[in-house]
Amino acid sequence: MEDLEQLIVCGGCNAKIGPGDLGDLLADLPKATSDKLLVGFENTDDAAVIKISDEQVLIQTLDFFPTMVSDPYLFGKIAAANALSDVYAMGGTVLSALNIVAFPEEKNLLILKEILRGGAEKVLEAGGILAGGHSIHDHSVKYGLSVTGTAHPDEVLMNNSGQVGDHLILTKPLGVGIITTGFSVGEISQESFEQATNYMQTLNKYAMDVMKKYPINSCTDVTGFGLLGHLHEMLHGELSAEIDSQRLPFIEEAYYGAKEFILTAGGQRNRNYLSEFVSFEIDDFGIEELLFDPQTSGGLLVSVPEEVVPKMLFELKEKGIFAEDFGQIIEKTTNEIIVK
């Protein structure tokens, strides 16, 4: 195949509208009242859940964004993994997917073919059916999927049902927003970039396949709002959490990049919105930025009872799946999230 021009790096989940602005936009929209809609947008959860029968629900989600890496094939894989993740975060199985494409009219269509190839491979890996999609011309490249999954009603996981005493587990390290941004301007090594993109293109299916054997109280995936934003949603104004910064999983060069002020616009939006909910009992700007950093195709954030943590982590790591216990849900205090 002829050499293709590289994509311009301009987004990923860093392009996501900030959590404060998004909440204000959705607040006054008309809301469905159907008893079949078990989870809708008012829940700020990862996907909609619609009851089909006493034995089955449909999980519906949609996710797309501009490019965060320059390689079209890699971009397709990451964007698809990111979109598919919402089904896993709800405890479901992927059924089908549709492509969502925006592509400049003047660009070589072979670039688009590579993006779609990467996405198709991930849908197949997920066990889903890629059933078509929709494309438009636009001034910048954007790609993602509309995904439908299924689950039993009793097995649906929510992002706001954690319990006091639950431990917090994260299944991918933080820092991919800082890494991809820094790499695009030559400030991050190829090795760390490859480490980040390997995690980004990994389906959260594998972690959930193990974790669903255990009692999960709450689950979400960490994407554009950063770890703190998605943890804030999990606590839903009723609980607090403590984070142990010594156990926080991150890509090492992302930490040093943050200390050298390799920052993202999305990270600063997250900081502006979330600062009132967070108390830092440490003096470490790098850790702060990692916690606010928008993640593209980030890991699952899961709250589970303390007694299952050792066995769950052992099984995950035995299967070569990344997972770290980094904090705990506690009774509500003045500070919603405390970073120790």
Flag whether 45 is marked binding: yes
Residue by residue, pLDDT tens for the chain (340 residues) are 445 556 555 555 455 555 555 566 666 776 667 776 776 555 565 678 999 999 999 999 999 999 989 999 999 999 999 999 999 999 999 999 999 999 999 999 999 999 999 999 999 999 999 999 999 999 999 999 999 999 999 999 999 999 999 999 999 999 999 999 999 999 999 999 999 999 999 999 999 999 999 999 999 999 999 999 999 999 999 999 999 999 999 999 999 999 999 999 899 999 999 999 999 999 999 999 999 999 999 999 999 999 999 999 999 999 999 999 999 999 999 999 999 9
Calpha distance 231→222 (Å, rounded): 9
Domains of the chain, CATH where assigned: 12-155 (3.30.1330.10), 167-339 (3.90.650.10)
Query: In angstroms, rounded to a whole number, what is the distance separating the alpha carbons of residues 233 and 228?
Result: 9
DSSP structural state of residue 256 = H
- Known binding residue 135? Answer is yes
Annotate 62-89 with b (16+ C-beta within 10 A) or e (fewer). ebbbbbbbebbbbbbbbbbbbbbbbbbb
**7, 9, 13, 101: which is the annotated catalytic residue?**
13
Residue 21 annotated as binding site: no
Tell me the whole-structure pTM to 2 decimals.
Answer: 0.89
Q: Please tell me whether 134 is known to bind a ligand.
A: yes
Question: Tens digits of per-residue pLDDT, 191-245?
Answer: 999 999 999 999 999 999 999 999 999 999 999 999 999 999 999 999 999 999 9
3 is in an annotated binding site: no
- Among this protein's residues, is 10 annotated catalytic? no
